[in-house]
């Protein structure tokens, strides 16, 4: 967990701050603290990607009807097991699940490493 005193997070709240002014500083802070997963939401378009051994998961938004593209209100469900981490997109209205990605993680030199991933295609 990153300490709340971190200077990186000062001033990044509010609707007018959709894009970080210097995301390089934030990424460096996440790398320094050995963060493996970043979970966020409310960006209206669900997606997932890997950057510097950090999995970034965006769940979209859970309740609003103001959506972009063909997305529906949804949230992420992460299932963590000895085999890895599975990420599902769950539709709020129906409960229907869509498998988004699977990540395998290994402990190497006392650090967790994302060693493979499979992302939903299409």
Better-scored residue on pLDDT, 120 or 71: 71
CATH of the domain at 61: 3.60.21.10
**Do 57 and 110 share a structural domain?**
yes
Percent of the chain whose predicted confidence (pLDDT) is above 70: 70
Give the tens place of pLDDT for each residue, 54-101: 888 888 777 777 666 667 788 889 999 988 899 998 988 899 999 988
**Do 58 and 29 share a structural domain?**
no
- pLDDT recorded at residue 88: 92
**Do 21 and 54 share a structural domain?**
no
| Domain hosting residue 91, numbered range | 36-119
The answer on pLDDT for 119 being more than 90 is: no
- pLDDT recorded at residue 4: 47
Based on the number of CB atoms within 10 Å of its own CB, is 23 exposed (0-12), middle (13-18) or buried (19 or more)?
A: exposed
The answer on pLDDT for 43 being more than 50 is: yes
**Do 7 and 62 share a structural domain?**
no
Q: How far, in whole angstroms, is CA 122 from its chain's centroid?
A: 19
**Do 42 and 15 share a structural domain?**
no
Nearest to 86 by CA among 61, 118, 43: 118
Average pLDDT over residues 19-44: 79
């Amino acid at each position: 967990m990153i300490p709340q005193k971190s200077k990186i997070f000062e001033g990044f709240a509010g609707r007018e701050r959709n894009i970080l002014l210097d995301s390089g500083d934030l990424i460096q802070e996440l790398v320094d603290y050995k963060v493996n997963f970043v979970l966020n939401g409310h960006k209206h378009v669900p997606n997932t990607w890997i950057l510097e051994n950090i999995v970034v998961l965006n769940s979209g938004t859970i309740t609003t009807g103001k959506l972009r593209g063909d997305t529906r209100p949804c949230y992420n469900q992460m299932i963590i097991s000895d085999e890895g981490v599975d990420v599902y997109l769950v539709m709020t209205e129906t409960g229907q699940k869509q498998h988004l990605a699977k990540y395998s993680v290994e402990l190497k030199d006392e650090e967790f490493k994302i060693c493979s991933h499979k992302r939903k295609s299409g």
